[in-house]
Structure 1
Protein backbone atom coordinates (compact mmCIF):
# COMPACT_ATOMS: atom_id res chain seq x y z
CA UNK A 1 0.00 0.00 0.00
CA UNK A 2 1.32 3.41 -0.98
CA UNK A 3 -0.25 6.46 0.65
CA UNK A 4 0.24 10.03 -0.49
CA UNK A 5 -0.98 13.23 1.09
CA UNK A 6 -1.22 16.79 -0.14
CA UNK A 7 1.82 18.91 0.62
CA UNK A 8 2.35 22.63 0.71
CA UNK A 9 2.77 24.25 -2.69
CA UNK A 10 5.38 26.64 -1.35
CA UNK A 11 8.54 26.32 -3.44
CA UNK A 12 6.65 24.38 -6.13
CA UNK A 13 8.40 26.50 -8.77
CA UNK A 14 11.50 24.31 -8.48
CA UNK A 15 11.45 21.59 -11.14
CA UNK A 16 14.29 19.74 -12.87
CA UNK A 17 14.24 17.41 -15.88
CA UNK A 18 16.86 14.66 -16.04
CA UNK A 19 17.86 12.99 -19.31
CA UNK A 20 20.92 10.88 -20.09
CA UNK A 21 22.80 12.17 -17.05
CA UNK A 22 22.06 15.84 -17.74
CA UNK A 23 19.87 18.11 -15.63
CA UNK A 24 17.68 20.79 -17.15
CA UNK A 25 16.07 23.39 -14.83
CA UNK A 26 12.51 24.35 -15.70
CA UNK A 27 11.61 28.01 -15.26
CA UNK A 28 8.09 29.04 -14.19
CA UNK A 29 6.42 31.27 -16.77
CA UNK A 30 8.29 29.65 -19.66
CA UNK A 31 7.11 26.34 -21.20
CA UNK A 32 9.83 23.68 -21.25
CA UNK A 33 9.75 21.74 -24.54
CA UNK A 34 10.93 18.21 -25.33
CA UNK A 35 11.34 17.10 -28.94
CA UNK A 36 13.69 17.34 -31.88
CA UNK A 37 13.79 21.05 -31.09
CA UNK A 38 13.36 22.83 -27.79
CA UNK A 39 14.85 23.02 -24.32
CA UNK A 40 15.58 19.27 -24.34
CA UNK A 41 16.43 18.68 -27.99
CA UNK A 42 16.78 15.12 -29.29
CA UNK A 43 17.96 16.03 -32.75
CA UNK A 44 18.85 12.70 -34.34
CA UNK A 45 15.47 10.93 -34.51
CA UNK A 46 13.17 11.93 -37.37
CA UNK A 47 10.38 9.77 -35.89
CA UNK A 48 10.14 12.23 -32.99
CA UNK A 49 8.00 15.36 -33.24
CA UNK A 50 9.78 18.70 -33.34
CA UNK A 51 7.72 19.62 -30.28
CA UNK A 52 6.41 16.56 -28.42
CA UNK A 53 6.06 17.33 -24.69
CA UNK A 54 5.81 20.56 -22.78
CA UNK A 55 6.06 21.28 -19.05
CA UNK A 56 4.68 24.52 -17.69
CA UNK A 57 3.50 26.00 -14.43
CA UNK A 58 -0.12 27.16 -14.55
CA UNK A 59 -1.65 28.72 -11.44
CA UNK A 60 1.00 27.11 -9.24
CA UNK A 61 0.60 23.59 -10.67
CA UNK A 62 3.09 21.94 -12.99
CA UNK A 63 1.45 20.34 -16.05
CA UNK A 64 2.89 17.88 -18.55
CA UNK A 65 1.26 18.15 -21.98
CA UNK A 66 1.53 16.04 -25.13
CA UNK A 67 1.54 18.59 -27.96
CA UNK A 68 2.40 16.03 -30.63
CA UNK A 69 0.01 14.48 -33.12
CA UNK A 70 1.03 10.79 -33.24
CA UNK A 71 3.20 9.69 -30.34
CA UNK A 72 2.06 8.91 -26.79
CA UNK A 73 3.96 8.64 -23.50
CA UNK A 74 3.71 6.52 -20.38
CA UNK A 75 3.89 8.50 -17.14
CA UNK A 76 4.52 6.85 -13.78
CA UNK A 77 5.57 7.76 -10.25
CA UNK A 78 8.96 6.61 -8.95
CA UNK A 79 7.51 3.46 -7.39
CA UNK A 80 5.54 2.41 -10.46
CA UNK A 81 2.28 2.39 -8.50
CA UNK A 82 0.54 5.10 -10.49
CA UNK A 83 0.59 4.95 -14.28
CA UNK A 84 -1.05 7.05 -16.96
CA UNK A 85 -1.13 7.00 -20.76
CA UNK A 86 -0.55 10.50 -22.15
CA UNK A 87 -2.11 10.58 -25.62
CA UNK A 88 -1.73 13.43 -28.15
CA UNK A 89 -3.58 16.49 -26.88
CA UNK A 90 -3.72 15.26 -23.28
CA UNK A 91 -2.06 16.74 -20.21
CA UNK A 92 -1.38 15.62 -16.65
CA UNK A 93 -0.38 17.36 -13.42
CA UNK A 94 3.12 16.56 -12.14
CA UNK A 95 2.34 16.01 -8.47
CA UNK A 96 5.00 13.53 -7.28
CA UNK A 97 8.54 14.12 -6.10
CA UNK A 98 9.83 11.99 -8.96
CA UNK A 99 7.91 11.30 -12.17
CA UNK A 100 9.21 9.07 -14.95
CA UNK A 101 8.12 9.68 -18.54
CA UNK A 102 8.75 6.88 -21.06
CA UNK A 103 8.08 7.20 -24.79
CA UNK A 104 9.18 5.67 -28.06
CA UNK A 105 9.87 7.16 -31.48
CA UNK A 106 10.57 4.57 -34.12
CA UNK A 107 12.64 1.75 -32.59
CA UNK A 108 14.13 3.97 -29.87
CA UNK A 109 12.73 4.22 -26.35
CA UNK A 110 13.44 7.29 -24.23
CA UNK A 111 13.14 7.91 -20.52
CA UNK A 112 13.14 11.28 -18.80
CA UNK A 113 12.76 11.87 -15.08
CA UNK A 114 11.10 14.97 -13.63
CA UNK A 115 12.16 15.98 -10.11
CA UNK A 116 10.02 18.33 -8.01
CA UNK A 117 11.63 20.06 -5.04
CA UNK A 118 8.26 20.58 -3.34
CA UNK A 119 5.81 18.00 -4.76
CA UNK A 120 2.08 18.46 -4.38
CA UNK A 121 1.81 14.92 -3.02
CA UNK A 122 4.25 13.14 -0.74
CA UNK A 123 4.63 9.52 0.26
CA UNK A 124 3.75 9.23 3.97
CA UNK A 125 3.53 5.50 4.53
CA UNK A 126 4.39 2.37 2.64
CA UNK A 127 3.67 -1.27 3.33
CA UNK A 128 5.88 -3.58 1.31
CA UNK A 129 4.13 -6.21 -0.74
CA UNK A 130 5.23 -9.55 0.77
CA UNK A 131 5.43 -11.17 -2.66
CA UNK A 132 7.17 -8.22 -4.26
CA UNK A 133 4.48 -7.54 -6.84
CA UNK A 134 2.96 -4.23 -7.82
CA UNK A 135 -0.77 -3.88 -8.31
CA UNK A 136 -0.22 -1.65 -11.32
CA UNK A 137 -0.71 -3.71 -14.45
CA UNK A 138 -1.02 -6.79 -12.27
CA UNK A 139 -1.41 -9.71 -14.63
CA UNK A 140 -0.27 -13.31 -14.15
CA UNK A 141 2.65 -14.13 -16.43
CA UNK A 142 4.28 -17.47 -17.08
CA UNK A 143 8.06 -17.71 -16.94
CA UNK A 144 8.29 -17.93 -20.73
CA UNK A 145 6.14 -14.80 -21.09
CA UNK A 146 8.37 -12.90 -18.67
CA UNK A 147 11.41 -14.08 -20.62
CA UNK A 148 9.91 -12.77 -23.84
CA UNK A 149 9.36 -9.34 -22.25
CA UNK A 150 12.86 -9.37 -20.74
CA UNK A 151 14.45 -10.04 -24.14
CA UNK A 152 12.70 -6.99 -25.58
CA UNK A 153 13.31 -4.76 -22.56
CA UNK A 154 16.94 -5.80 -21.92
CA UNK A 155 18.56 -2.67 -23.43
CA UNK A 156 16.34 -0.40 -21.33
CA UNK A 157 16.91 -2.40 -18.14
CA UNK A 158 20.69 -2.45 -18.60
CA UNK A 159 20.80 1.30 -19.15
CA UNK A 160 21.98 3.27 -16.14
CA UNK A 161 19.54 6.06 -15.37
CA UNK A 162 17.42 7.96 -17.86
CA UNK A 163 18.33 8.19 -21.52
CA UNK A 164 17.62 6.26 -24.72
CA UNK A 165 17.79 2.66 -25.88
CA UNK A 166 17.39 0.88 -29.20
CA UNK A 167 14.91 -1.97 -28.84
CA UNK A 168 15.67 -5.31 -30.49
CA UNK A 169 13.55 -6.73 -33.28
CA UNK A 170 11.51 -9.85 -32.60
CA UNK A 171 14.11 -11.88 -34.48
CA UNK A 172 16.95 -10.48 -32.37
CA UNK A 173 15.04 -11.08 -29.13
CA UNK A 174 14.21 -14.64 -30.17
CA UNK A 175 17.87 -15.29 -30.95
CA UNK A 176 18.86 -13.89 -27.54
CA UNK A 177 16.68 -16.54 -25.90
CA UNK A 178 17.61 -19.36 -28.27
CA UNK A 179 13.98 -19.58 -29.42
CA UNK A 180 12.47 -19.86 -32.86
CA UNK A 181 10.79 -16.73 -34.15
CA UNK A 182 7.49 -18.63 -34.25
CA UNK A 183 7.68 -19.40 -30.54
CA UNK A 184 8.65 -15.84 -29.70
CA UNK A 185 5.79 -14.32 -31.70
CA UNK A 186 3.31 -16.72 -30.09
CA UNK A 187 4.38 -15.53 -26.62
CA UNK A 188 4.24 -11.91 -27.78
CA UNK A 189 0.68 -12.42 -29.05
CA UNK A 190 -0.36 -14.04 -25.77
CA UNK A 191 1.04 -11.26 -23.57
CA UNK A 192 -0.38 -8.47 -25.74
CA UNK A 193 -3.79 -10.18 -25.63
CA UNK A 194 -3.61 -10.42 -21.81
CA UNK A 195 -2.70 -6.77 -21.40
CA UNK A 196 -5.29 -5.66 -23.91
CA UNK A 197 -7.99 -7.49 -21.94
CA UNK A 198 -7.14 -5.59 -18.75
CA UNK A 199 -7.25 -2.28 -20.58
CA UNK A 200 -3.60 -1.47 -21.31
CA UNK A 201 -3.67 0.81 -24.38
CA UNK A 202 -1.50 0.30 -27.43
CA UNK A 203 -1.53 -3.50 -27.44
CA UNK A 204 -3.57 -3.59 -30.63
CA UNK A 205 -3.62 -1.44 -33.75
CA UNK A 206 -3.76 -1.40 -37.49
CA UNK A 207 -1.69 -3.53 -39.82
CA UNK A 208 0.90 -0.91 -40.74
CA UNK A 209 3.72 -0.67 -38.21
CA UNK A 210 1.64 -2.71 -35.74
CA UNK A 211 4.42 -5.20 -35.01
CA UNK A 212 6.86 -2.45 -34.08
CA UNK A 213 4.32 -0.35 -32.20
CA UNK A 214 3.12 -3.10 -29.92
CA UNK A 215 6.70 -4.14 -29.05
CA UNK A 216 7.70 -0.65 -27.99
CA UNK A 217 4.41 -0.10 -26.16
CA UNK A 218 4.84 -3.44 -24.37
CA UNK A 219 8.31 -2.41 -23.21
CA UNK A 220 7.06 0.98 -22.05
CA UNK A 221 4.30 -0.61 -19.99
CA UNK A 222 6.49 -3.43 -18.63
CA UNK A 223 9.15 -0.98 -17.40
CA UNK A 224 6.65 1.48 -15.93
CA UNK A 225 4.56 -1.23 -14.26
CA UNK A 226 7.62 -3.16 -13.02
CA UNK A 227 6.52 -6.34 -14.79
CA UNK A 228 10.25 -6.96 -15.26
CA UNK A 229 13.23 -5.38 -13.50
CA UNK A 230 17.03 -5.42 -13.65
CA UNK A 231 16.99 -8.20 -11.06
CA UNK A 232 15.33 -10.48 -13.63
CA UNK A 233 18.07 -10.11 -16.25
CA UNK A 234 20.06 -13.24 -15.21
CA UNK A 235 17.06 -15.27 -16.38
CA UNK A 236 18.00 -14.43 -19.97
CA UNK A 237 21.40 -16.08 -19.78
CA UNK A 238 19.92 -19.07 -17.96
CA UNK A 239 17.31 -19.54 -20.68
CA UNK A 240 19.82 -19.17 -23.50
CA UNK A 241 22.13 -21.71 -21.85
CA UNK A 242 19.24 -24.10 -21.28
CA UNK A 243 18.12 -23.89 -24.90
CA UNK A 244 21.69 -24.36 -26.13
CA UNK A 245 22.09 -27.46 -23.93
CA UNK A 246 18.81 -28.84 -25.19
CA UNK A 247 19.97 -28.31 -28.76
CA UNK A 248 23.21 -30.21 -28.09
CA UNK A 249 21.26 -33.08 -26.54
CA UNK A 250 18.99 -33.27 -29.57
CA UNK A 251 22.02 -33.35 -31.86
Structure 2
Protein backbone atom coordinates (compact mmCIF):
# COMPACT_ATOMS: atom_id res chain seq x y z
CA UNK A 1 0.00 0.00 0.00
CA UNK A 2 2.85 2.43 0.85
CA UNK A 3 4.40 1.75 -2.55
CA UNK A 4 1.03 2.40 -4.22
CA UNK A 5 0.83 5.79 -2.50
CA UNK A 6 4.22 6.76 -3.89
CA UNK A 7 3.57 5.73 -7.50
CA UNK A 8 1.10 6.70 -10.18
CA UNK A 9 -1.53 4.33 -11.52
CA UNK A 10 -4.74 4.44 -13.51
CA UNK A 11 -8.12 2.76 -13.88
CA UNK A 12 -9.77 1.80 -17.17
CA UNK A 13 -13.56 1.45 -16.94
CA UNK A 14 -15.84 0.51 -19.84
CA UNK A 15 -18.88 1.74 -17.85
CA UNK A 16 -20.66 -1.58 -18.30
CA UNK A 17 -19.09 -3.49 -15.44
CA UNK A 18 -15.50 -4.10 -16.54
CA UNK A 19 -12.71 -2.24 -14.75
CA UNK A 20 -8.97 -2.76 -14.48
CA UNK A 21 -6.20 -1.02 -12.56
CA UNK A 22 -2.83 -0.54 -14.28
CA UNK A 23 0.21 0.26 -12.17
CA UNK A 24 3.39 2.05 -13.15
CA UNK A 25 5.66 -0.33 -15.06
CA UNK A 26 2.73 -2.13 -16.70
CA UNK A 27 0.79 -1.46 -19.90
CA UNK A 28 -2.66 -2.24 -21.23
CA UNK A 29 -4.06 -2.46 -24.75
CA UNK A 30 -7.75 -1.95 -25.50
CA UNK A 31 -9.48 -3.58 -28.44
CA UNK A 32 -11.61 -6.41 -29.73
CA UNK A 33 -8.92 -9.05 -29.01
CA UNK A 34 -6.70 -7.27 -26.46
CA UNK A 35 -6.11 -7.53 -22.69
CA UNK A 36 -8.99 -5.14 -22.06
CA UNK A 37 -11.80 -6.25 -24.34
CA UNK A 38 -13.79 -3.55 -26.10
CA UNK A 39 -16.34 -4.42 -28.77
CA UNK A 40 -15.49 -8.13 -28.72
CA UNK A 41 -18.56 -8.87 -30.84
CA UNK A 42 -18.10 -5.89 -33.17
CA UNK A 43 -16.18 -6.95 -36.32
CA UNK A 44 -15.56 -3.28 -37.18
CA UNK A 45 -13.56 -2.75 -33.97
CA UNK A 46 -9.77 -3.04 -34.20
CA UNK A 47 -8.26 -6.11 -32.54
CA UNK A 48 -5.82 -3.67 -30.90
CA UNK A 49 -7.02 -0.06 -30.79
CA UNK A 50 -5.64 1.98 -27.87
CA UNK A 51 -2.39 1.33 -26.00
CA UNK A 52 -1.71 2.87 -22.57
CA UNK A 53 1.64 2.97 -20.78
CA UNK A 54 3.58 5.06 -18.25
CA UNK A 55 6.68 6.96 -19.37
CA UNK A 56 8.72 8.36 -16.46
CA UNK A 57 5.62 9.02 -14.38
CA UNK A 58 3.51 10.36 -17.26
CA UNK A 59 0.69 8.15 -18.53
CA UNK A 60 0.47 8.08 -22.32
CA UNK A 61 -2.20 6.79 -24.70
CA UNK A 62 -1.57 5.91 -28.35
CA UNK A 63 -3.95 4.98 -31.14
CA UNK A 64 -2.45 1.79 -32.57
CA UNK A 65 -5.41 1.16 -34.89
CA UNK A 66 -5.43 1.74 -38.62
CA UNK A 67 -8.57 3.80 -39.27
CA UNK A 68 -10.69 4.43 -36.14
CA UNK A 69 -10.16 7.65 -34.17
CA UNK A 70 -10.98 8.42 -30.55
CA UNK A 71 -11.86 11.67 -28.78
CA UNK A 72 -10.43 12.29 -25.31
CA UNK A 73 -12.25 14.70 -23.00
CA UNK A 74 -10.05 15.43 -19.97
CA UNK A 75 -11.44 16.90 -16.77
CA UNK A 76 -9.81 17.81 -13.47
CA UNK A 77 -11.56 18.99 -10.35
CA UNK A 78 -14.85 19.38 -12.19
CA UNK A 79 -13.26 21.50 -14.94
CA UNK A 80 -13.56 20.17 -18.49
CA UNK A 81 -10.74 20.90 -20.93
CA UNK A 82 -10.68 20.98 -24.70
CA UNK A 83 -11.32 17.58 -26.30
CA UNK A 84 -8.40 15.93 -28.08
CA UNK A 85 -8.78 13.88 -31.26
CA UNK A 86 -6.59 10.78 -31.23
CA UNK A 87 -6.12 9.72 -34.85
CA UNK A 88 -4.28 6.51 -35.86
CA UNK A 89 -0.61 6.76 -34.89
CA UNK A 90 -1.14 9.74 -32.56
CA UNK A 91 -0.21 9.61 -28.88
CA UNK A 92 -1.21 11.95 -26.06
CA UNK A 93 -0.27 12.46 -22.38
CA UNK A 94 -3.20 11.67 -20.11
CA UNK A 95 -3.67 14.33 -17.41
CA UNK A 96 -4.52 13.44 -13.83
CA UNK A 97 -8.20 12.89 -13.12
CA UNK A 98 -10.99 11.41 -15.20
CA UNK A 99 -10.57 11.24 -18.98
CA UNK A 100 -13.63 10.28 -21.02
CA UNK A 101 -12.73 8.45 -24.23
CA UNK A 102 -15.33 8.36 -27.01
CA UNK A 103 -15.17 6.46 -30.29
CA UNK A 104 -17.45 4.68 -32.72
CA UNK A 105 -17.53 2.05 -35.42
CA UNK A 106 -20.19 1.72 -38.09
CA UNK A 107 -22.00 -0.63 -35.71
CA UNK A 108 -21.80 0.99 -32.30
CA UNK A 109 -20.74 3.98 -30.19
CA UNK A 110 -18.43 3.45 -27.22
CA UNK A 111 -17.45 5.40 -24.12
CA UNK A 112 -14.70 4.58 -21.63
CA UNK A 113 -13.28 6.35 -18.61
CA UNK A 114 -9.56 6.35 -17.88
CA UNK A 115 -8.76 7.80 -14.47
CA UNK A 116 -5.15 8.77 -13.75
CA UNK A 117 -4.19 8.81 -10.08
CA UNK A 118 -1.06 10.67 -9.08
CA UNK A 119 0.53 10.36 -5.61
CA UNK A 120 0.29 13.25 -3.19
CA UNK A 121 3.82 14.19 -2.23
CA UNK A 122 4.23 15.03 1.47
CA UNK A 123 5.67 18.47 2.16
CA UNK A 124 8.80 18.06 4.28
CA UNK A 125 9.20 20.27 7.32
CA UNK A 126 12.18 22.57 7.19
CA UNK A 127 13.55 25.64 8.88
CA UNK A 128 13.15 28.98 7.14
CA UNK A 129 16.49 29.67 5.41
CA UNK A 130 18.44 32.82 6.17
CA UNK A 131 19.39 33.25 2.52
CA UNK A 132 16.86 34.63 -0.01
CA UNK A 133 14.28 32.10 -1.20
CA UNK A 134 14.75 30.53 -4.61
CA UNK A 135 12.38 32.12 -7.12
CA UNK A 136 13.50 30.59 -10.41
CA UNK A 137 10.69 28.07 -10.73
CA UNK A 138 7.56 28.01 -12.86
CA UNK A 139 4.58 26.69 -10.90
CA UNK A 140 1.36 27.65 -12.72
CA UNK A 141 -1.82 27.79 -10.66
CA UNK A 142 -5.08 26.09 -11.64
CA UNK A 143 -6.31 28.87 -13.95
CA UNK A 144 -2.91 29.19 -15.59
CA UNK A 145 -2.93 25.43 -16.17
CA UNK A 146 -6.30 25.79 -17.89
CA UNK A 147 -4.82 28.39 -20.25
CA UNK A 148 -1.79 26.21 -21.02
CA UNK A 149 -3.95 23.14 -21.71
CA UNK A 150 -6.31 25.06 -23.99
CA UNK A 151 -3.47 26.69 -25.95
CA UNK A 152 -1.62 23.40 -26.41
CA UNK A 153 -4.65 21.28 -27.33
CA UNK A 154 -4.77 22.09 -31.09
CA UNK A 155 -1.02 21.47 -31.43
CA UNK A 156 -1.36 18.08 -29.75
CA UNK A 157 -4.30 17.21 -31.99
CA UNK A 158 -2.25 18.03 -35.10
CA UNK A 159 1.50 18.41 -34.43
CA UNK A 160 2.01 19.47 -38.07
CA UNK A 161 -0.41 22.40 -37.82
CA UNK A 162 0.85 25.98 -37.99
CA UNK A 163 0.49 27.55 -34.52
CA UNK A 164 -0.54 30.88 -36.09
CA UNK A 165 -3.54 29.12 -37.62
CA UNK A 166 -4.34 26.42 -35.07
CA UNK A 167 -3.92 28.29 -31.77
CA UNK A 168 -7.15 30.04 -30.71
CA UNK A 169 -7.35 33.83 -30.61
CA UNK A 170 -7.67 35.56 -27.25
CA UNK A 171 -11.38 36.05 -27.92
CA UNK A 172 -11.91 32.37 -28.78
CA UNK A 173 -9.80 31.27 -25.82
CA UNK A 174 -11.80 33.51 -23.48
CA UNK A 175 -15.09 32.03 -24.72
CA UNK A 176 -13.70 28.53 -24.36
CA UNK A 177 -12.65 29.15 -20.76
CA UNK A 178 -15.74 31.16 -19.87
CA UNK A 179 -13.69 34.25 -18.99
CA UNK A 180 -13.48 37.82 -20.22
CA UNK A 181 -10.88 38.77 -22.81
CA UNK A 182 -9.10 41.09 -20.37
CA UNK A 183 -8.63 38.33 -17.80
CA UNK A 184 -7.46 35.89 -20.48
CA UNK A 185 -4.93 38.39 -21.86
CA UNK A 186 -3.64 39.11 -18.36
CA UNK A 187 -3.11 35.41 -17.68
CA UNK A 188 -1.12 35.01 -20.91
CA UNK A 189 0.90 38.17 -20.28
CA UNK A 190 1.72 37.21 -16.68
CA UNK A 191 2.99 33.75 -17.65
CA UNK A 192 5.02 35.17 -20.53
CA UNK A 193 6.64 37.73 -18.19
CA UNK A 194 7.35 35.04 -15.60
CA UNK A 195 9.02 32.77 -18.16
CA UNK A 196 10.94 35.75 -19.52
CA UNK A 197 12.28 36.50 -16.03
CA UNK A 198 13.26 32.84 -15.64
CA UNK A 199 15.37 33.12 -18.79
CA UNK A 200 13.37 30.80 -21.04
CA UNK A 201 14.79 31.66 -24.50
CA UNK A 202 11.46 31.73 -26.34
CA UNK A 203 10.16 34.47 -24.05
CA UNK A 204 13.05 36.93 -24.24
CA UNK A 205 12.35 40.46 -25.42
CA UNK A 206 12.58 40.98 -29.16
CA UNK A 207 10.56 37.91 -30.11
CA UNK A 208 8.22 39.17 -32.83
CA UNK A 209 5.49 36.58 -32.19
CA UNK A 210 2.30 37.01 -30.12
CA UNK A 211 2.76 35.66 -26.61
CA UNK A 212 -0.20 33.29 -26.93
CA UNK A 213 1.56 31.59 -29.88
CA UNK A 214 4.86 31.32 -28.00
CA UNK A 215 3.04 30.10 -24.90
CA UNK A 216 1.11 27.51 -26.93
CA UNK A 217 4.35 26.06 -28.32
CA UNK A 218 5.89 26.03 -24.85
CA UNK A 219 2.81 24.31 -23.38
CA UNK A 220 2.71 21.68 -26.13
CA UNK A 221 6.35 20.81 -25.45
CA UNK A 222 5.95 20.83 -21.64
CA UNK A 223 2.70 19.06 -20.69
CA UNK A 224 4.06 18.39 -17.19
CA UNK A 225 3.03 21.93 -16.23
CA UNK A 226 -0.70 21.24 -16.67
CA UNK A 227 -1.21 17.49 -17.11
Q: Which band: TM-score by shorter chain?
A: 0.3 to 0.5
TM-score scaled to structure 1, two decimals?
0.43
TM-score scaled to structure 2, two decimals?
0.47
Larger RCO (alpha carbons 8 Å, 6+ apart): 1
